[in-house]
C-alpha cells in the first residue's frame, strides 16, 4: 500500500511524534522503533520515512516537549495579574498543577535520559537559557526567582526518585511560592 488516503504527511508525522512521546515516556529510551510504529499505527518503514534515524526522532520529540511545556506555562498566566512575577507564578502553577504533574515528571525523566547525547543537551541548554531570560525579565529580584523556580523544579521532578508530595503538601507549596513572589513584588 502506498500513500494513505484522507491523511496528510504532516498528520502522520504528528501521529508518530505522539506515539514516540507515549512510548518513550512510559518505557524509556530503550523502547524500540517497532513499538513506536505499532503505537502510531504505521509501518516501521513509514516511521523511517519521516524520521530517518532514531536519533532524529528523539531530537524532534525533545524539541516538541520543551515547546509544549512553554505553551503550558503561558496558558497558566493569570489575565487579571499584572504585577511583577506573573510569569514566575505561571511557571509554578504549570509545574505543580495537579492533573499534568505526572506528565511533567515523565517528561523530565525522558529528557534526563537523553541529555547524555550532546545534540540533545545543547537543545535543552538553549531552552533553559531562554527561560532564564524570560523569567529574569519578569520584574522580581533575582534571588527570589532562583528560590521559587528551584523549588518548583524540585517538587515537579522529585517523583523521579520516588519522592512524591501529597496533594495538600503540594497545594501548600504552591501557595507559599506564589506568596513569596507577591511579597517580593510589593517590596519593590
Could you list the residues that contact its own copies (CB under 8 A)? 26-30, 108-109, 111-113, 115-117, 121, 124-129, 131-132, 142-143, 146-147, 149-155, 157-158, 160-165, 169, 172-173, 176-177
Under DSSP, the state recorded for 165 is P
**Three-state secondary structure call for residue 94:** helix
Selection from DNA, its own copies, none that 63 binds (CB < 5 to 8 A by kind) is none
Contact 102, 179 (CB under 8 A): no
Q: Decide which of its own copies, DNA, none touches 153; Cβ closer than 5 to 8 Å per partner kind.
A: its own copies
Sign of CA dihedral 130, 133, 134, 136: positive
Q: Show the cell assigned to 22.
A: 507515549
* Span from 27-35, 98-106, 118-126, 135-143 in contact with DNA (CB under 7 A): 27-35
DSSP sequence for 67-93 = HHHHHHHHHT--TT--STTHHHHHHHH
- Nine-digit cell at 18? 505522539
Q: Pull the grid cell for residue 176.
A: 507559599
Contact between 49 and DNA by CB under 7 A: the answer reads yes
Of 29-37, 61-69, 79-87, 176-184, which part binds DNA (CB under 7 A)?
A: 29-37
Among its own copies, DNA, none, residue 108 binds (CB under 5-8 Å by kind): its own copies
What does 53 interact with, of its own copies, DNA, none (CB < 5 to 8 A by kind)?
A: DNA
Amino acid at each position: 500500500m502506498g500513500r494513505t488516503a484522507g491523511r496528510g504527511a504532516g498528520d502522520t508525522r504528528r501521529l508518530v511524534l505522539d506515539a514516540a512521546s507515549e512510548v518513550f515516556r512510559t518505557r524509556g529510551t530503550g523502547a524500540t522503533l517497532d513499538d513506536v510504529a505499532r503505537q502510531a499505527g504505521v509501518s516501521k518503514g513509514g516511521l523511517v520515512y519521516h524520521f530517518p534515524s532514531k536519533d532524529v526522532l528523539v531530537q524532534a520529540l525533545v524539541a516538541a516537549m520543551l515547546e509544549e511545556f512553554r505553551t503550558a506555562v503561558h496558558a497558566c498566566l493569570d489575565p487579571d495579574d499584572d504585577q511583577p512575577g506573573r510569569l514566575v507564578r505561571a511557571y509554578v502553577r504549570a509545574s505543580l498543577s495537579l492533573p499534568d504533574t505526572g506528565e511533567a515528571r515523565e517528561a523530565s525523566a525522558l529528557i534526563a535520559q537523553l541529555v547524555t547525547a550532546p545534540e540533545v543537551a545543547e537543545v535543552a541548554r538553549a531552552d533553559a537559557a531562554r527561560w532564564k531570560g524570560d523569567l529574569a525579565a519578569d520584574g522580581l529580584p533575582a534571588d527570589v526567582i532562583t528560590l521559587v523556580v528551584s523549588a518548583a523544579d524540585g517538587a515537579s521532578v522529585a517523583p523521579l526518585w520516588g519522592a512524591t508530595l501529597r496533594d495538600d503538601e503540594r497545594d501548600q507549596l504552591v501557595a507559599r511560592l506564589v506568596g513569596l513572589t507577591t511579597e517580593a513584588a510589593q517590596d519593590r
